[in-house]
Amino acid sequence: MSGWRNRWALPLTVEQAKGVSEFIKTASEHDLRQLGLASAARPSLGADLELLPIEQRLQCVQEYITSFQYNHTATTYFDQNKQRPLCRILSTARDIVRQGLPIKCVEAVFLGLLLTSGWTDLDRVPVGFKTHIVLAVRHPETGRWGALGLSRRAELMDKPLIYSSLADVLAAYVASYKQWWHAVLRIRIGLPVPHDVMYDGQVAWRQCCMKVAGEDWSVVSSKVNEHAVRADGLWAAFLADKKGFKP
């Protein structure tokens, strides 16, 4: 095996890369392990998760999402298309769980939706920035908000379930962007995602587009919280006429 390792110098030519690819396809797990190419251990989620308090459940889910690591390459391993029925998005999330490969922020949201499905004590609302997306979450019993997500930057990943409003969560993200010398121009807010894993309609990813740059945050905050209050009613209205939710 050491002979194969030392056969070529990096970077590889196209032909050499093809040879490596063919070798990996036919190599045994033992061979790959000797070369340091064995598949990474798959992340695991603790048992009896639903018996934990909501804060601990969310922390476990976020740790699970983070354990997949961020995909820093230009290659995507999973279907990132959001304009699909929810049931198919959740199918992609199951593929992510099975394969344990690095993911980007979109796949992290897919995972968040899968892992919190059936948690009727939790509302899930997608929130998008220019090149980033997270899953805002609300615990109706306490009215507290937080978020699940993954990013290159730790500050842009999740937010704990401690915020009194959706606007407060978004303000925390805006502050995190400023920390990295980025300005948030707009924020796109969706509608609550249903808990039915067999739902064959689409998720409302961008129901409300809020301009942030140059706006007084108190005005933005008021509009965001107004949208959050009306979200359930807006979702019911869209379901009633099926507008935009059946592929």
Question: What is the full DSSP assignment across 154-198?
Answer: GGGS-EEEEESSHHHHHHHHHHHHHHTT----EEEE--PPPS-TT
Per-residue pLDDT tens over the stretch 98-108: 988 899 999 99
Catalytic residue among 117, 132, 139, 221: 132
Confidence class for position 35, pLDDT limits 50, 70, 90: low
Per-residue pLDDT tens over the stretch 153-172: 999 999 999 999 999 999 99
Is the pLDDT score of 188 beyond 90? yes
With a CB cutoff of 8 Å and minimum separation 6, the contacts of 3 are none
User: What is the pLDDT, as a whole number, of residue 237?
Assistant: 82
Is the pLDDT score of 246 beyond 50? no
User: What is the pLDDT, as a whole number, of residue 13?
Assistant: 74
Q: What is the average pLDDT value for the chain, to the nearest integer?
A: 87
User: What is the pLDDT, as a whole number, of residue 24?
Assistant: 62
**Alpha-carbon distance 137 to 160, whole Å?**
10
Catalytic residue among 117, 139, 151, 208: 151
Catalytic annotation on 208?
A: no
Question: What sign does the dihedral 49-55-56-60 (CA atoms) show?
Answer: positive
User: What is the pLDDT, as a whole number, of residue 42?
Assistant: 61
With a CB cutoff of 8 Å and minimum separation 6, the contacts of 178 are none
**Which percentage of the chain shows pLDDT scores above 90?**
66
Is the pLDDT score of 247 beyond 70? no
Q: Is 56 helix (H, G, I), strand (E, B) or coil?
A: helix
Catalytic annotation on 60?
A: no
**Alpha-carbon distance 205 to 227, whole Å?**
14
**Alpha-carbon distance 236 to 246, whole Å?**
14
The conformation of residue 43, written as its DSSP 8-state character, comes to P
Per-residue pLDDT tens over the stretch 189-236: 999 999 999 999 999 999 999 999 999 999 999 999 999 999 888 888
With a CB cutoff of 8 Å and minimum separation 6, the contacts of 77 are 71, 99, 101, 102, 103
The residues pairing with 133 across neighbouring beta strands, listed in sequence order, are 128
For the record, the structure tokens of 2 come out as 């050491």
0.85 surpassed by pTM? no
User: What is the pLDDT, as a whole number, of residue 15?
Assistant: 78
Is the pLDDT score of 240 beyond 80? no
Q: Is 133 helix (H, G, I), strand (E, B) or coil?
A: strand
Catalytic residue among 105, 117, 176, 221: 105
Closest residue by Cα to residue 205 from 83, 80, 90 = 83
Closest residue by Cα to residue 174 from 143, 147, 144, 207 = 147
Catalytic annotation on 151?
A: yes
Is the pLDDT score of 121 beyond 70? yes
